[in-house]
Structure 1
Amino acid sequence: MCRLLGYLGPSVRLDTLLLKPEHSLIAQSYQPREMTAGLLNADGFGLGWYHPEQPIAPCIYRNTTPIWSDQNLTNLAHYVESGCMLAYVRSATVGQSVQLSNCQPYRQGQLLGIHNGFIDQFRSTLYRKLRSHLSDRCYQTIEGTTDSEHIFALVCHELEQTPDLPLQSALTATLKRITNWAAAANISVSLNIVLSDGQSLVASRYAYPNPPPSLYWVQDDLSLPSGVLIASEPTFENKHWTAVAENSLVVVTPDQEVYTETV
């Protein structure tokens, strides 16, 4: 299981989100508190962020080394500011290569996505089913081998088929489609996903048929006034962290309003 986070709000330096919290993603990479599988998240990491002033494609920074050993991250996080950021640390599924193309976030146009979870025995179960469902354009975007990247491509496919579809509706459609395939194949799936287009943030806490991994959100912390942070585990002490209900979405609107939906 990986650990992830997403932020939307006023522009902040990335070190505020990544380095300063006492239970930051760095701490979660070697001492996670709520992982249900695995002990470490040492198989790479990545972050993606949007320019605070210019409407350009988001930037991504990924590495196959553990996040604690990347000597460039501190300088990068001290320098870069953004009002929207996604990040994760990876615990690779057995059999999946530790290579840059298998590191998240994934990017398509203005869309960024990260995933914590799995499709059970992906290569022998839903791999061909999922790929055959994709449009040629979305199919061609896949560079790696992970179930996570294929799930992201399926979200992009839903948005391509219905361009005006809200992000949360595209995510819901993706979750339901994968669930239907999983039920038919009699396998389990775990689909904690965070998506952003730079204006809004949508996250799912979802699994079938077992309980999903942990996911929380908090708003208006003193270190992030008016901002909303979503994370696999609380990154700092604040009694207002809210656990996302099982099999539901949390949606953060462009003006930082937060609401939840049942999937």
Structure 2
Amino acid sequence: MCRHLAYLGPPERLGDLLIEPAHSLYRQSWAPRRQRYGTVNADGFGVGWYADGDPVPARYRRAGPIWADQSLADLARVVRSGAVLAAVRDATLAGADAEAAAAPFAAGPWLFSHNGAVAGWPRSLAPLAETLPAADLLSLEARNDSALVWALVLARLRGGDEEGQALADTVLDVAAAAPASRLNLLLTNGETVMATAWGDTLWYLAEPGRRTVVASEPYDDDPHWQEVPDRTLLAASRTDVLLTPLKDPSDALAHTPTPGSARAEGDPAPKEPST
């Protein structure tokens, strides 16, 4: 269900990142190697990048498959950037939002992508949607699960949360409201990349001090690609990568004692009632 990629490093042509590698994001649109759900990512694509001296990224998005866009080749040949986020989309449900539903979503300095699907969409997230200001809901770019997840992340960012905390808390909230959701999120501000591995594959390639790539799957056969464990928050810059485990809310529920439940080994024995 979708593939995405974020790059931080020396300025590179978009084509060298997204099209030329043997197993590039371009090729992953019809022949992904490690995608667990869905087989073809032909419901839109998008590329976001940062230009020197401008903190607000540019975007190029289309509703159709990436291989059918003849303008992308020219764009990818001449545009260079040291910070890129791109995605190819496999829609959760059919919709009429066209390129507005394609990642990356954007606001201010941020680019965002969601690889996965929200279980039980849209009813499952109605309670979370109700926590958002009406203006945020009316400003959604598209009426799909990814756009609402982005709105939840963005509300936390605008409320002052750090980027990693905003992603992690949103994933935990959505997973609690809609168990079995797949929530691989990707966020960049042009200087750092935050990502979650939650239900689908996530990999990274790091050359400390030079470049970092975070992607749904490796775009080449470089042996230095490393897989991120499931239920993990990744925080990356051009110099380092930090992995932090995320606690599945269903685990906490599974270990919450219920009235009359058997006492777990090591728990103190109940006291006799006083008279």
Same fold (TM over 0.5): yes
Report the counterpart of residue 103 of structure 1 in structure 2: 102
Task: Specify the SS of the correspondent of 1:230.
Answer: strand
The code of the aligned residue for 1:18 comes to L
Task: Specify the SS of the correspondent of 2:122.
Answer: helix
Instruction: After TM superposition, list the pairs within 5 Å mapping 1:1-263 onto structure 2.
Output: 1-51=1-51, 53-97=52-96, 99-126=98-125, 128-162=126-160, 165-182=161-178, 187-206=179-198, 212-220=199-207, 226-253=210-237, 255-263=238-246
Task: Specify the SS of the correspondent of 1:176.
Answer: helix
Larger Rg belongs to: 2
Task: Specify the SS of the correspondent of 1:133.
Answer: coil
Gaps of 5+ in 1: 207-211
Moved over 6 A (4+): none
Structure 1 CA distance for aligned equivalents of residues 135 and 96 of structure 2: 24
Structure 1 CA distance for aligned equivalents of residues 245 and 95 of structure 2: 31
Does structure 2 conserve the Cα–Cα contact (< 8 Å) formed by 1:9 and 1:256? no
Structure 2 CA distance for aligned equivalents of residues 42 and 194 of structure 1: 20
Once the two structures are superposed, residues 224-246 of structure 1 have per-residue CA deviations (whole angstroms, 9 ceiling, x without a partner) of x8111111111011111100011
CA positional deviation for 1:169: 0.9
Does structure 2 conserve the Cα–Cα contact (< 8 Å) formed by 1:138 and 1:156? no
Structure 2 CA distance for aligned equivalents of residues 61 and 16 of structure 1: 17
Does structure 2 conserve the Cα–Cα contact (< 8 Å) formed by 1:92 and 1:98? no
The code of the aligned residue for 1:194 comes to L
TM-score (norm 1): 0.89
Structure 2 CA distance for aligned equivalents of residues 135 and 160 of structure 1: 12
Structure 1 CA distance for aligned equivalents of residues 93 and 144 of structure 2: 11
RMSD: 1.6
CA positional deviation for 1:152: 0.7
Once the two structures are superposed, residues 153-182 of structure 1 have per-residue CA deviations (whole angstroms, 9 ceiling, x without a partner) of 1011111222xx321011111111112222
The code of the aligned residue for 1:66 comes to P
Taking a change above 3 Å as real, the CA distance of residues 55 and 136 of structure 1, as seen in their structure-2 partners, is farther
The code of the aligned residue for 2:236 comes to V
CA positional deviation for 1:57: 1.3
Once the two structures are superposed, residues 178-209 of structure 1 have per-residue CA deviations (whole angstroms, 9 ceiling, x without a partner) of 12222xxxx42110011011111111101xxx
Aligned residues with identical type, % of pairs: 35
Once the two structures are superposed, residues 87-128 of structure 1 have per-residue CA deviations (whole angstroms, 9 ceiling, x without a partner) of 1111111333461211111001111100100111212221x2
Structure 1 CA distance for aligned equivalents of residues 117 and 131 of structure 2: 19
